[in-house]
Amino acid sequence: MQKKRLGNSDLEITPMGVGAWAMGGGGWAFAWGPQDDDESISAIHEALDHGVNWIDTAAVYGLGHSEEVVARALEGRSNRPYVFTKCERVWNADRQISASLKADSVRRECEASLRRLKVDTIDLYQIHWPEPAEDIEEGWGALAKLREEGKLRWIGVSNFNPGQMERCRAITPITSLQPPYSAVSPEIEKETLPYCQEHQIGVIVYSPMKSGLLAGTMTTERVVAFPADDFRRRALAFQEPNLTRNLALADKMKEIGARHGRSAGEVAIAWTLRHPAVTGAIVGMRSAAQARGVLGALEFRLTGEEIAEIGVA
């Protein structure tokens, strides 16, 4: 399996990594609905056993719970993957989420993530969102300091645009960017991906299947039946007329995948990996069966003709 180096780091990562957002479970503002921890752990084990060598999570996923699940999954494993997590989203005793990039807050978040993950050093620590915008430099400087102290190996950003990354680069180099990217949402191709290529910033994209829309198993009926705390009930991509158009795109990917014995989701992931700026794709999985349905994306690639057939401008 071919691996790629992530930006300016020494991390050689597989084409896809485990996304642990949904593993945070239900009951918080951006949940995917209820989730069984044992199913999450089985998904992680399935991916690792097939060669995946990194996991991406965040402190806010399940308000700390996702990181705890990742720690449980890795306990006693000899083939430990790289673990990536994030700061900046904080919450209070009432489980209300807010943004902070103050240096003391970033340090507290880092220490809490180290405890939950049961590690001494985090392989890649990322600012989750560029908010509050006026504190970007303070937050990024705090990450640089934590790296100097050995608590972090590499540091990156998530959901930043080129202008915001330029502000960070004035302080210390950025190892990676984590942006949303899929055939449904290709917006970063215009400015962000070229910027990352120019400045040797690695790119690990999230939502390559657009939160399950391009998995080949999504239907209008499933969308209607989403749990009340599933954030996708409120997402524009899941609302008409977008939903019908996006499900048609998923059908096209299913058709292409069938020619190779691959799923629509694997085609959707391969579509993101076709771009030379993309180092890897974060793929959410909630069970061993879901993991098996996308692990072919570790090696499956689209032809030029198939990319044209998908036809996303």
**Could you tell me if 185 and 193 are in contact, meaning their C-beta atoms sit under 8 angstroms apart?**
no
DSSP strand pairing (82-87 vs 12-13): unpaired
Name, in order, each residue with C-beta under 8 angstroms of 24's C-beta and a sequence gap of 6 or more: 31, 32, 35, 60, 61, 62, 63, 65, 66, 69
The first and second tokens of residue 43, run together, are 């998904």
Pick the catalytic residue from 61, 82, 181, 206: 61
DSSP of the chain: ---EE-TTSS-EE-SEEEE-SGGG-SSSTT-BS---HHHHHHHHHHHHHTT--EEE--TTTTTTHHHHHHHHHHTT-SSPPEEEEEESEEE-TT--EEE---HHHHHHHHHHHHHHHT-SSEEEEEESS--SGGGHHHHHHHHHHHHHTTSEEEEEEES--HHHHHHHHTTS---EEE-B--SS--GGGTTHHHHHHHTT-EEEEB-TTTTTTTSS---HHHHHT--TTBGGGG-GGGSTTHHHHHHHHHHHHHHHHHHHT--HHHHHHHHHHTSTT--EEEEE-SSHHHHHTTGGGGT----HHHHHHH---
Examine the residue annotation and report whether 61 is marked as an active-site residue of this protein. Answer: yes
What is the total residue count of the chain?
313
**For residues 122 and 151, what is the distance between their CA atoms, to the nearest angstrom?**
6
Residues marked as catalytic: 61
